[in-house]
Chain A
Protein backbone atom coordinates (compact mmCIF):
# COMPACT_ATOMS: atom_id res chain seq x y z
CA UNK A 1 0.00 0.00 0.00
CA UNK A 2 1.36 3.40 -0.96
CA UNK A 3 2.21 5.70 1.93
CA UNK A 4 0.36 8.74 0.64
CA UNK A 5 -2.44 8.28 -1.87
CA UNK A 6 -4.14 10.90 -3.98
CA UNK A 7 -6.50 10.87 -6.92
CA UNK A 8 -4.22 11.93 -9.80
CA UNK A 9 -7.05 13.63 -11.70
CA UNK A 10 -7.00 15.66 -13.79
CA UNK A 11 -9.73 17.75 -12.28
CA UNK A 12 -11.12 20.11 -14.91
CA UNK A 13 -12.93 22.93 -13.14
CA UNK A 14 -14.43 26.18 -14.46
CA UNK A 15 -12.98 29.40 -13.17
CA UNK A 16 -14.76 30.58 -10.05
CA UNK A 17 -15.86 27.12 -8.95
CA UNK A 18 -14.98 25.39 -5.71
CA UNK A 19 -12.88 22.26 -5.86
CA UNK A 20 -11.81 19.78 -3.19
CA UNK A 21 -9.01 17.24 -3.10
CA UNK A 22 -8.48 14.41 -0.70
CA UNK A 23 -5.53 12.39 0.38
CA UNK A 24 -5.03 9.38 2.64
CA UNK A 25 -1.86 8.33 4.41
CA UNK A 26 -0.90 4.95 5.76
CA UNK A 27 1.52 5.77 8.57
CA UNK A 28 -0.56 6.34 11.67
CA UNK A 29 2.50 7.76 13.42
CA UNK A 30 2.63 10.70 11.02
CA UNK A 31 2.84 13.96 12.87
CA UNK A 32 2.76 16.78 10.40
CA UNK A 33 0.93 17.37 7.17
CA UNK A 34 1.19 19.78 4.31
CA UNK A 35 -0.13 20.68 0.93
CA UNK A 36 2.45 21.67 -1.64
CA UNK A 37 1.86 23.00 -5.09
CA UNK A 38 4.01 21.98 -8.04
CA UNK A 39 3.88 23.64 -11.41
CA UNK A 40 4.97 21.76 -14.49
CA UNK A 41 8.69 20.97 -14.43
CA UNK A 42 9.23 23.13 -11.33
CA UNK A 43 10.05 22.45 -7.72
CA UNK A 44 7.26 22.03 -5.15
CA UNK A 45 6.29 25.08 -3.13
CA UNK A 46 4.63 24.97 0.25
CA UNK A 47 0.99 25.98 0.00
CA UNK A 48 -0.03 25.43 3.60
CA UNK A 49 0.43 23.28 6.64
CA UNK A 50 -2.53 21.23 7.82
CA UNK A 51 -3.60 21.25 11.45
CA UNK A 52 -6.00 18.99 13.32
CA UNK A 53 -8.34 21.89 13.98
CA UNK A 54 -8.45 22.75 10.29
CA UNK A 55 -6.99 25.93 8.90
CA UNK A 56 -7.73 28.48 6.27
CA UNK A 57 -5.53 30.73 4.20
CA UNK A 58 -7.50 33.02 1.94
CA UNK A 59 -9.36 30.86 -0.59
CA UNK A 60 -7.70 27.68 0.66
CA UNK A 61 -8.96 25.52 3.50
CA UNK A 62 -7.18 22.41 4.74
CA UNK A 63 -8.53 19.79 7.09
CA UNK A 64 -7.06 16.75 8.81
CA UNK A 65 -8.87 13.72 10.14
CA UNK A 66 -6.36 11.70 12.13
CA UNK A 67 -8.80 8.91 12.93
CA UNK A 68 -9.42 8.27 9.24
CA UNK A 69 -5.88 9.28 8.21
CA UNK A 70 -7.34 11.65 5.71
CA UNK A 71 -6.39 15.15 4.61
CA UNK A 72 -8.37 17.52 2.43
CA UNK A 73 -7.83 20.75 0.57
CA UNK A 74 -10.64 23.03 -0.55
CA UNK A 75 -10.12 25.84 -3.04
CA UNK A 76 -12.87 28.43 -3.33
CA UNK A 77 -13.40 30.88 -6.18
CA UNK A 78 -10.76 29.12 -8.26
CA UNK A 79 -8.49 31.20 -10.48
CA UNK A 80 -6.72 30.29 -13.69
CA UNK A 81 -3.45 30.60 -11.77
CA UNK A 82 -4.54 27.79 -9.46
CA UNK A 83 -3.88 25.31 -12.28
CA UNK A 84 -1.09 23.09 -10.97
CA UNK A 85 -0.43 19.75 -9.33
CA UNK A 86 -1.26 19.66 -5.63
CA UNK A 87 0.91 17.40 -3.53
CA UNK A 88 -0.20 15.90 -0.25
CA UNK A 89 2.84 15.64 2.00
CA UNK A 90 3.33 13.88 5.30
CA UNK A 91 6.12 13.87 7.85
CA UNK A 92 6.58 11.20 10.48
CA UNK A 93 7.86 13.79 12.89
CA UNK A 94 6.38 17.01 14.12
CA UNK A 95 7.35 20.00 12.05
CA UNK A 96 8.14 19.95 8.38
CA UNK A 97 11.80 20.34 8.46
CA UNK A 98 14.17 17.95 10.06
CA UNK A 99 13.23 14.78 8.25
CA UNK A 100 12.57 13.71 4.73
CA UNK A 101 9.04 14.33 3.60
CA UNK A 102 6.78 11.71 2.06
CA UNK A 103 4.98 12.96 -1.01
CA UNK A 104 1.86 11.78 -2.74
CA UNK A 105 1.90 11.63 -6.53
CA UNK A 106 -0.22 14.73 -6.69
CA UNK A 107 -3.59 15.75 -8.02
CA UNK A 108 -3.56 17.65 -11.28
CA UNK A 109 -5.94 20.61 -11.37
CA UNK A 110 -6.87 22.48 -14.53
CA UNK A 111 -8.92 25.65 -14.18
CA UNK A 112 -10.76 26.46 -17.36
CA UNK A 113 -11.76 29.97 -18.40
Chain B
Protein backbone atom coordinates (compact mmCIF):
# COMPACT_ATOMS: atom_id res chain seq x y z
CA UNK B 1 0.00 0.00 0.00
CA UNK B 2 0.91 3.65 -0.26
CA UNK B 3 3.32 5.02 2.31
CA UNK B 4 2.96 8.26 4.22
CA UNK B 5 5.60 9.44 6.64
CA UNK B 6 5.48 12.05 9.38
CA UNK B 7 8.26 13.81 11.14
CA UNK B 8 8.90 14.13 14.00
CA UNK B 9 7.20 11.16 15.60
CA UNK B 10 7.34 12.75 19.00
CA UNK B 11 8.03 16.25 20.23
CA UNK B 12 8.14 17.81 23.65
CA UNK B 13 8.29 21.58 23.80
CA UNK B 14 7.81 24.48 26.15
CA UNK B 15 4.67 26.53 26.17
CA UNK B 16 4.85 29.41 23.71
CA UNK B 17 7.08 27.74 21.16
CA UNK B 18 6.07 26.79 17.63
CA UNK B 19 6.27 23.25 16.34
CA UNK B 20 6.35 22.16 12.72
CA UNK B 21 5.16 18.72 11.67
CA UNK B 22 5.89 17.35 8.21
CA UNK B 23 3.77 14.89 6.30
CA UNK B 24 5.16 13.25 3.18
CA UNK B 25 3.69 10.85 0.68
CA UNK B 26 6.63 8.65 -0.25
CA UNK B 27 5.50 6.72 -3.29
CA UNK B 28 2.64 8.70 -4.75
CA UNK B 29 1.60 12.27 -5.39
CA UNK B 30 -1.01 13.43 -2.92
CA UNK B 31 -3.53 15.84 -4.38
CA UNK B 32 -5.08 16.31 -0.99
CA UNK B 33 -3.72 15.90 2.52
CA UNK B 34 -5.72 15.95 5.71
CA UNK B 35 -4.72 16.80 9.23
CA UNK B 36 -6.43 15.08 12.15
CA UNK B 37 -6.02 15.38 15.88
CA UNK B 38 -6.75 12.74 18.49
CA UNK B 39 -6.96 13.45 22.21
CA UNK B 40 -6.70 10.50 24.64
CA UNK B 41 -9.73 8.21 24.49
CA UNK B 42 -11.30 10.43 21.85
CA UNK B 43 -11.97 9.91 18.17
CA UNK B 44 -9.81 11.34 15.43
CA UNK B 45 -11.12 14.76 14.54
CA UNK B 46 -10.50 16.36 11.19
CA UNK B 47 -8.75 19.70 11.60
CA UNK B 48 -8.20 20.81 8.03
CA UNK B 49 -8.05 19.76 4.41
CA UNK B 50 -5.08 20.81 2.38
CA UNK B 51 -4.92 20.87 -1.41
CA UNK B 52 -1.62 21.35 -3.16
CA UNK B 53 -1.07 24.94 -4.17
CA UNK B 54 -4.13 26.38 -2.45
CA UNK B 55 -5.16 27.51 1.00
CA UNK B 56 -6.23 24.92 3.49
CA UNK B 57 -9.85 24.54 4.50
CA UNK B 58 -10.28 24.44 8.26
CA UNK B 59 -13.02 22.71 10.20
CA UNK B 60 -15.22 24.72 12.48
CA UNK B 61 -13.51 25.52 15.74
CA UNK B 62 -9.97 25.10 14.42
CA UNK B 63 -8.02 28.36 14.44
CA UNK B 64 -6.29 28.85 11.12
CA UNK B 65 -3.84 31.38 12.57
CA UNK B 66 -2.78 28.92 15.21
CA UNK B 67 -2.51 25.85 13.02
CA UNK B 68 -0.70 26.94 9.90
CA UNK B 69 -0.83 24.51 7.01
CA UNK B 70 1.30 24.60 3.93
CA UNK B 71 0.95 22.15 1.05
CA UNK B 72 3.70 23.38 -1.22
CA UNK B 73 4.17 20.24 -3.27
CA UNK B 74 2.33 17.08 -4.17
CA UNK B 75 4.37 15.10 -1.68
CA UNK B 76 4.67 17.42 1.31
CA UNK B 77 2.31 19.17 3.67
CA UNK B 78 3.35 20.85 6.90
CA UNK B 79 1.37 21.74 10.00
CA UNK B 80 2.82 24.39 12.29
CA UNK B 81 1.36 24.72 15.75
CA UNK B 82 2.15 28.31 16.65
CA UNK B 83 2.62 29.43 20.25
CA UNK B 84 1.77 25.98 21.51
CA UNK B 85 0.06 25.59 24.88
CA UNK B 86 -0.48 22.50 27.05
CA UNK B 87 -4.02 22.11 25.71
CA UNK B 88 -2.53 21.59 22.25
CA UNK B 89 -0.87 18.41 23.47
CA UNK B 90 -2.33 15.68 21.30
CA UNK B 91 -1.66 13.05 18.65
CA UNK B 92 -1.55 14.73 15.25
CA UNK B 93 -2.03 12.48 12.24
CA UNK B 94 -1.93 13.35 8.59
CA UNK B 95 -3.41 11.40 5.73
CA UNK B 96 -2.98 11.64 2.01
CA UNK B 97 -5.18 11.01 -0.97
CA UNK B 98 -4.41 10.94 -4.65
CA UNK B 99 -6.71 11.79 -7.52
CA UNK B 100 -4.76 9.26 -9.53
CA UNK B 101 -6.75 6.30 -8.35
CA UNK B 102 -6.15 5.75 -4.64
CA UNK B 103 -9.71 6.16 -3.46
CA UNK B 104 -8.84 5.87 0.16
CA UNK B 105 -6.76 7.83 2.60
CA UNK B 106 -3.41 6.59 3.77
CA UNK B 107 -2.39 7.70 7.20
CA UNK B 108 0.97 8.75 8.46
CA UNK B 109 2.29 7.24 11.70
CA UNK B 110 1.33 10.33 13.68
CA UNK B 111 3.18 12.88 15.79
CA UNK B 112 2.73 12.95 19.53
CA UNK B 113 3.03 16.51 20.78
CA UNK B 114 3.51 17.29 24.43
CA UNK B 115 3.56 20.93 25.46
CA UNK B 116 4.91 21.55 28.94
Contact = CB atoms under 8 A, between A and B. Distances in A.
Contacts of A43: 93, 107-110
A71 B99 CA distance: 27
Contacts of B108: 43
A93 B109 CA distance: 25
B91 A96 contact: no
Q: State which size class the interface on A falls in.
A: 20 to 34
B63 interface: no
Given A104-B43, A105-B42, A106-B43, A98 B32 contact: yes
B7 interface: no
Interface residues of B, number: 26
Interface of A: 4, 34, 41-46, 49, 87, 95-106
Interface of B: 32, 34, 36, 41-46, 49, 59, 91, 93, 95, 97-99, 102-105, 107-110, 112
Given A103-B43, A103-B44, A96 B107 contact: no
B112 A41 contact: yes
A96 B104 contact: yes
